[in-house]
Amino acid sequence: MLPVPLFHARVQVSLRPSVLDPAGEATRAAAGRLGVEGVRRLRIGKAIEVELEAPDPATARAQLELLSDRLLANPVIEDWSLDVREAG
Amino acid sequence: MTIGIVVFPGSNCDRDVQWALEGCLERPTRFLWHEERDLAGLEAVVLPGGFSYGDYLRCGAIARFAPVLEEVRQFAAGGGPVLGICNGFQVLTEMGLLPGALTRNRDLHFLCEPAPLQVQPGACRWLQNYGAGERITLPIAHGEGRYQVGGEELRRLEGEGCVVLRYAANPNGSVGDVAGLSNPGGNVLGLMPHPERACDPQTGGTDGLRLLAAALG
């Protein structure tokens, strides 16, 4: 039996532009205190790394899209993007 | 007349709710562990405050998949009264039983203080013991209580009378000063303030008592 293909994915979750990011603002202020003066915008998101077994790339992508949209991100306040590659 | 109190790993207001219902209102309660599926005989269900599953990923995001909540969803769909307090409100939004989301407080601080509120009970069963426009004070204790929803959706919620509790002095940046939301049917209420901590005159007021009493018919 052939081994089930393994996929590596990276899901980037970011707050939607309309949502206030007070933690990002506080970090931006700290950048100024470090001496980095040019930071005009700083938004904090999450990067989630996933390894997934799936029979083929289309199935892998569909599963990862479901995961991103229903669990990893909350579409009310967050956007997500997905980068998938087959391992090996 | 038993009231179910859901207990997730990380819930920490479950015993406060039990004390308020049993100690102050003399009503029996039953704890519902997150894996429980039997809601038989319950008149109402409370999702208490705390940090369910450590608030990993987002507040309420993991709790949403707890087996007990599949039953709570059915219970609510059948018109059963469901109350989500603080973390419980966050869980209700993650479940989609109430719209929107609760996000980090505007000033990043964990807020633990009395919050003056205005009640607009509308059709909300939990608030029928309060007058329209009545001012009450309940304690808040949260780091992520800033209600967030799109402008159009907020206007729809206001139009349908779902915005049943507003902050008189917005402490956290919630859109529309939203402190609590009802579903259109009026049986589901989510709120950030803690009514169970305002049930005894010796511990800071009794404005929450009438809310918890409303579920008792």
Chain A residue nearest residue B90, CA to CA = A74
B148 at the A interface (CB within 8 A)? yes
Do residue B107 and residue A22 have CB atoms under 8 angstroms apart? yes
* B100: chain A residues, CB-CB within 8 Å: 76
| CB B126, CB B215: distance < 8 Å | yes
Q: Beta-carbon neighbour count of residue B91 at 10 Å?
A: 29
The closest alpha carbon to B196, from B205, B187, B183, B188, belongs to B205
* A20: chain B residues, CB-CB within 8 Å: 103, 106, 146, 173
Question: pLDDT band at residue B16, thresholds of 50, 70 and 90?
Answer: very high
Whats the size of chain B, residue-wise? 217
- The whole-number pLDDT of residue A88 equals 72
Question: pLDDT band at residue B86, thresholds of 50, 70 and 90?
Answer: very high
Would the pLDDT of B72 be above 80? yes
Which of B56, B92, B102, B104 to substitute to test the interface with A, most A CBs within 10 Å?
B104
Would the pLDDT of A2 be above 80? no
Would the pLDDT of A86 be above 70? yes
Q: Which of B58, B101, B173 sits opposite A20 (nearest CB)?
A: B173
Beta bridge partners of B31: B5
* A71: chain B residues, CB-CB within 8 Å: 57, 61, 65
Rounded distance, CA B25 to CA B211, Å?
11
Would the pLDDT of A55 be above 90? yes
Q: What are the catalytic residues of B?
A: 86, 194, 196
- The whole-number pLDDT of residue B200 equals 92
- The whole-number pLDDT of residue B1 equals 81
Chain A residue nearest residue B150, CA to CA = A76
Rounded distance, CA B195 to CA B213, Å?
11
| CB B59, CB B102: distance < 8 Å | yes
- The whole-number pLDDT of residue B215 equals 75
Class of residue B94 by CB neighbours under 10 A (exposed 0-12, middle 13-18, buried 19+): buried
Contacts of A61 (CB under 8 A, 6+ apart): A82, A84
Would the pLDDT of B25 be above 70? yes
pLDDT in tens, B108-165: 999 999 999 999 999 999 999 999 999 999 999 999 999 999 999 999 999 999 999 9
Burial B48-80 (b: 16+ CB within 10 A, else e): bbbbbbebebbbbbbbbebebbebbeebbeeeb
CA atoms within 13 A on the CB side of A12: 8
Question: pLDDT band at residue B204, thresholds of 50, 70 and 90?
Answer: confident
Do residue A71 and residue B57 have CB atoms under 8 angstroms apart? yes
Mean pLDDT of A17-40: 93
Can you give the pTM of this predicted structure?
Answer: 0.92
**Strand duo B42-47 + B82-85: pairing:** parallel
- The whole-number pLDDT of residue B203 equals 84
3-state secondary structure B5-71: EEECCCECCHHHHHHHHHHHCCCCEEEEECCCCCCCCEEEEEECCECHHHHCCCCCCCHHHCHHHHH
Would the pLDDT of B216 be above 80? no
Mean pLDDT of B185-200: 97
Would the pLDDT of B47 be above 70? yes
Q: Which of A22, A72, A76 sits opposite B106 (nearest CB)?
A: A22
Chain A residue nearest residue B64, CA to CA = A71
**Separation of first and last alpha carbons in chain B:** 9
Do residue B101 and residue A74 have CB atoms under 8 angstroms apart? yes
- The whole-number pLDDT of residue A3 equals 85
**CA-based Rg of chain A, rounded to a whole angstrom?**
17
Would the pLDDT of A1 be above 90? no
Would the pLDDT of B67 be above 90? yes
- Of all residues in chain B, what percent carry a pLDDT higher than 90? 95
DSSP state for residue A4 in the 8-state scheme: P
- The whole-number pLDDT of residue A70 equals 94
Question: pLDDT band at residue A26, thresholds of 50, 70 and 90?
Answer: very high
Would the pLDDT of A67 be above 80? yes
* pLDDT, averaged across chain B: 96
* B146: chain A residues, CB-CB within 8 Å: 20
CA B162 remoteness from chain centre: 13
Would the pLDDT of B182 be above 90? yes
Question: What token pair was written down for B192?
Answer: 């950030």
Question: pLDDT band at residue B217, thresholds of 50, 70 and 90?
Answer: low
Distance from CA of A36 to the nearest CA of B (A): 23
